[in-house]
Amino acid sequence: MKLSAFGTKFTTESGILSLMDDLGNALAGDQDMIMMGGGNPSHIPEVQALFHDRTRRILDNPKEFRHLIGVYDPPQGEIEFTTNMAKLLRRELGWDVSARNIALTNGSQSGFFMLFNMFAGEYSNGQQKKIQLPLAPEYIGYSDAGLNGDFFTAGHPKIDYLDAHTFKYRVNFDEIKISEQTGAICVSRPTNPTGNVITDDELAKLDELAKQHDIPLIIDSAYGTPFPNLIFTDATPLWNDNIIACMSLSKLGLPAARTGIIVASEAVIRAVSSVNAIINLSTGSFGPVLTQDMVRSGEIIRISNDLVKPYYQQRAQLAVNWFHSALGELPYYIHKAEGAMFLWLWFKDLPISSLELYQRLKARGVLIVSGHYFFPGITDEWQHKHECIRVTYSQEADQVKKGIEIIADEVRNAYERS
């Protein structure tokens, strides 16, 4: 089968494809796998009970049910939902937005595909532009979202050692080179894979850089404010006409609803809506209809702050404690757990690559993600890229603890046999 350049690029091996294939095959296979690789949120009973009750009320309401399954929403997204979302953002965060500043996408992944290719790639004058990532590691799903291969530039982070086994990445502004070839700046807050939350000062400097160069600053808040608010440190939300804020319902507990939310200037929203119409025709109604009452009343904030955030914050601390106990005095560091639902582990001078470690752990029934996938835009052979892994602590606690013990055992074997 002969494919176009587009077909070849998007059928070639990629980190996100490998990750999703592993998840699907593990769930369908006979081997009991400990799933510490993917980003599937936890099934929090109290949250799922709320969604169950809301679904029942929709089923009992013929008008709402008809809307849920039988009506095309406009390319910008469900009108009542975007109106209520704008009211929520004005009330809770003080953002000067209306429904005209909000568009929905079929999940954040499709939203970033549209945004990245709107601002980077080939322009009509033949110029090639890229997305600037302030630092890497960054989200695995960004890496292959560009229509061409050379799509990102990124800075090596500063590394702060906080104690004997804890570190934190910080933006190294000396490594951020904005030029005529830069189409936009993009940063996730908190960051998947590391759980890093860039500081208010770092974010303000990025905002100023973007304004100076007349390019947008894209902030990926899939795990951030105002929902699901998986941020365990101080972090002030930021939005203005030059910022594109991207949110999601997935980490609230609705990954199957595939609902991304983009908050931006009216011009950007019109552009996103146009691309949406061509690629998707319409956005899905399930997420907006299911959460409509929660957004209207502001209950979505209470659910995030009182149920979702405390659950993950407690799980993060448990997992960190278990790793400290299991790894002992091995040469390891854990990135400070400031948010999201992952831990990022760095095994200094690891004798094998993180990909080899992933393969050995997979053979023992534990799925993690090799860290080398998370460095889009860093093209040099930085050894650090091959010494890190991402693990999630969102699954059942006993399984996570067992997985941590196997990870520690395999890492210890790697050092001892070198």
Q: Domains for the chain: give ranges and CATH numbers.
A: 5-47+303-416 (3.90.1150.10), 73-298 (3.40.640.10)
Q: Which two tokens stand for residue 82?
A: 């975007």
Task: Specify the pLDDT at position 142.
Answer: 93
Residue 156: how many CB atoms within 10 A of its CB? Answer: 17
Residue 372: how many CB atoms within 10 A of its CB? Answer: 19
Residue 390: how many CB atoms within 10 A of its CB? Answer: 29
% of the chain beyond a pLDDT of 90: 86
Residue 208: how many CB atoms within 10 A of its CB? Answer: 12
pLDDT at 54 > cutoff 70: yes
Given the structure tokens 């830069």, which residue do they identify?
Answer: 182
pLDDT at 307 > cutoff 90: yes
Given the structure tokens 């595939």, which residue do they identify?
Answer: 258
Mean pLDDT (the chain) is: 93
Task: Specify the pLDDT at position 38.
Answer: 82
- Alpha helices for 306-396 (secondary structure H): 309-327, 354-363
What is the distance between the alpha carbons of residues 395 and 51, in angstroms, rounded to a whole number? 19
% of the chain beyond a pLDDT of 70: 95
pLDDT at 279 > cutoff 70: yes
Task: Specify the pLDDT at position 29.
Answer: 56
Question: CA distances (Å), 75 to each of 103, 106, 396, in order?
Answer: 8, 11, 38
Question: For residue 2, what pLDDT band results from cuts at 50, 70 and 90?
Answer: confident
pLDDT at 28 > cutoff 60: no
pLDDT at 185 > cutoff 70: yes
- Mean pLDDT, residues 142-163 taken together: 92
Question: For residue 274, what pLDDT band results from cuts at 50, 70 and 90?
Answer: very high
- Mean pLDDT, residues 384-402 taken together: 96
Task: Specify the pLDDT at position 5.
Answer: 79
What is the distance between the alpha carbons of residues 163 and 170, in angstroms, rounded to a whole number? 16
- Which range, of 147-156, 248-257, 319-328, 381-390, averages the lowest pLDDT? 147-156
Which of 21, 376, 20, 349 has its CA nearest to residue 191?
A: 376
Task: Specify the pLDDT at position 18.
Answer: 60
Segment 259-268, tens digit of pLDDT? 999 999 999 9
DSSP-derived 3-state class of residue 307: helix
Q: Model-level pTM?
A: 0.94
Q: Which residues contact 247 (CB under 8 A, 6 or more apart)?
A: 108, 221, 222, 224, 227, 260, 261, 262, 263
Contact call for residues 146 and 19 (beta carbons, < 8 A)? no
Instruction: State phi, psi for 218 to the nearest 5 degrees.
Output: -100, 125
- Mean pLDDT, residues 363-387 taken together: 95
365: left (phi over 0), alpha (psi -120 to 50) or beta: left
**177 vs 335, which has greater pLDDT?**
335
- Mean pLDDT, residues 347-367 taken together: 97
What is the distance between the alpha carbons of residues 224 and 393, in angstroms, rounded to a whole number? 17
DSSP-derived 3-state class of residue 391: strand
End-to-end CA distance of the chain: 44
Residue 66: how many CB atoms within 10 A of its CB? Answer: 10
- Mean pLDDT, residues 81-100 taken together: 98
pLDDT at 24 > cutoff 70: no
DSSP-derived 3-state class of residue 119: helix
